[in-house]
């Protein structure tokens, strides 16, 4: 018997039937004598629906207010799941991110966890309650609600597992493990029984959506055993750990990411340090840059192209236009009709590329 952290994504709690299914999984784990902390995402398409509602009111809402809005999705989920667990006759309490002790920095919509104060969690577990926590959110030093960005509930779950030194962290999804490719799109994709932290981190960073890359990085740092498992199909999933015992395969996985925008700055003055100034400016605006290409200088100019997420493209262009050497006449092109395909393998380099 031990402490188990279980995380359920939005598809796992999308409707009443699935919420009751999750309640049965959680209570079965509890009946085995385990302490259980459950981390839940917003139901189904709730987050997308909330974003659409915001756009009906204000297409340029501040990220602070968007965090205030989007955090409500998880509040609905935890309350409904707690009610379902109560209906099965088990002691339970639901907690928002700040009630569960999550302190973050103040980067709204992409906050980083600074600390998890476990006092409340330990007290509720000590009272033999199942604790249901809202993923994806925390509180900053200004006592404002913040969100952790895409896949943030995975990060919340692993952070709790680390803070409480849990015996296991189970990530429940709508697929039954980690595959060599997306099984919903590639029929002969093979499920992996085990995968290393490093391989999973690379897959997650390059677009595989089964786990958030920040959660894998944290699990590796604190050596937390992760299991990716289906909430709908009760079979063994994929174990993510330091060393994986598996057959030697040159290619471990292929990922595709369509949340990509390619930005090109054409005709930059070719002087030393200009690329550093560009990417420093983007970093100061918390914009993650992926693939970078620079052309060979010609006529004392050069072109620089890079990829960012689609959501970050407008912010990136605005940041670039603020640079003194990027005037209004300098072309900045943005192409969102691209995808990134990456191949990850043991003992080989990864060669991601974009395709129109």
Q: Give tens-digit pLDDT for 101-135.
A: 999 999 999 999 999 999 999 999 999 999 999 99
Q: Which of 17-26, 89-98, 294-303 has the lowest mean pLDDT?
A: 294-303
The yes/no answer on whether domain 261-337 falls in CATH 3.30.2130.10 is yes
Q: Give tens-digit pLDDT for 317-337.
A: 888 988 888 877 788 889 888
**How large is the angle between the packed helices 63-87 and 46-57, nearest 10 degrees?**
140
- Residue 214 confidence (pLDDT) above 90: no
d(CA 331, CA 335): 13
Closest by CA position to 315, among listed 109, 155, 152, 139: 109
d(CA 221, CA 197): 10
The model's confidence at residue 349, banded by pLDDT at 50, 70 and 90, is very low
The pLDDT of residue 203 is 76
Q: Which CATH architecture has domain 3-173?
A: 3-Layer(aba) Sandwich (3.40)
The model's confidence at residue 344, banded by pLDDT at 50, 70 and 90, is low
Domain ranges of the chain: 3-173, 261-337
Q: Give tens-digit pLDDT for 299-312.
A: 778 888 888 888 88
Q: Give tens-digit pLDDT for 154-178.
A: 999 999 999 999 999 999 988 888 8
d(CA 1, CA 166): 11
Q: Give tens-digit pLDDT for 58-98.
A: 999 999 999 999 999 999 999 999 999 999 999 999 999 99
- Residue 281 confidence (pLDDT) above 60: yes
The model's confidence at residue 252, banded by pLDDT at 50, 70 and 90, is low
Residue 314: alpha-carbon gap to chain centroid: 21
């Amino acid at each position: 018997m031990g402490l188990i952290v279980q995380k359920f994504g939005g598809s796992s709690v999308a409707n009443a039937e699935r919420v009751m299914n999750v309640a049965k999984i959680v209570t079965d784990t509890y009946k085995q004598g385990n302490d259980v902390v459950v981390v839940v995402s917003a139901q189904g398409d709730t987050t997308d629906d909330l974003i659409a509602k915001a756009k009906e009111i204000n297409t340029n809402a501040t990220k602070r207010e968007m965090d205030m809005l989007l955090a409500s999705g998880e509040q609905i989920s935890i309350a409904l799941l707690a009610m379902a667990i109560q209906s099965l006759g088990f002691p339970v309490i639901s907690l928002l991110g700040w009630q569960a002790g999550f302190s973050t920095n103040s980067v709204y919509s992409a906050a980083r966890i600074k600390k998890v104060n476990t006092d409340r969690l330990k007290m509720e577990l000590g009272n033999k309650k199942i604790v249901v926590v809202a993923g994806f959110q925390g509180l900053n030093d200004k006592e404002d609600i913040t969100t952790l960005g895409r896949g943030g509930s995975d990060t919340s779950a692993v952070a709790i597992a680390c803070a409480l030194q849990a015996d296991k962290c189970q990530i429940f999804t709508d697929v039954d493990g980690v595959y060599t490719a997306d099984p919903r799109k590639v029929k002969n994709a093979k499920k992996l029984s085990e995968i290393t932290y490093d391989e999973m981190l690379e897959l997650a960073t390059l677009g595989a959506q089964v786990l958030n890359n920040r959660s894998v990085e944290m699990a590796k740092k604190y050596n937390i055993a992760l299991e990716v498992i289906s909430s709908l199909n009760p079979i063994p999933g994929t174990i993510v750990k330091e060393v994986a015992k598996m057959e030697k395969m040159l290619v471990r996985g292929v990922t595709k990411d369509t949340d990509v925008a390619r930005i090109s700055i054409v005709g930059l003055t070719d002087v030393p340090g200009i690329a550093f100034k560009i990417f420093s400016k983007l970093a100061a605006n918390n914009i993650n840059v992926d693939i970078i290409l620079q052309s060979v200088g010609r006529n004392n100019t050069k072109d620089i192209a890079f990829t960012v997420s689609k959501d970050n493209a407008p912010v990136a262009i605005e940041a670039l236009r603020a640079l003194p050497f990027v005037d209004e006449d300098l072309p900045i092109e943005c192409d969102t009709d691209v995808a990134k395909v990456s191949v990850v393998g043991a003992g080989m380099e990864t060669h991601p590329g974009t395709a129109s």
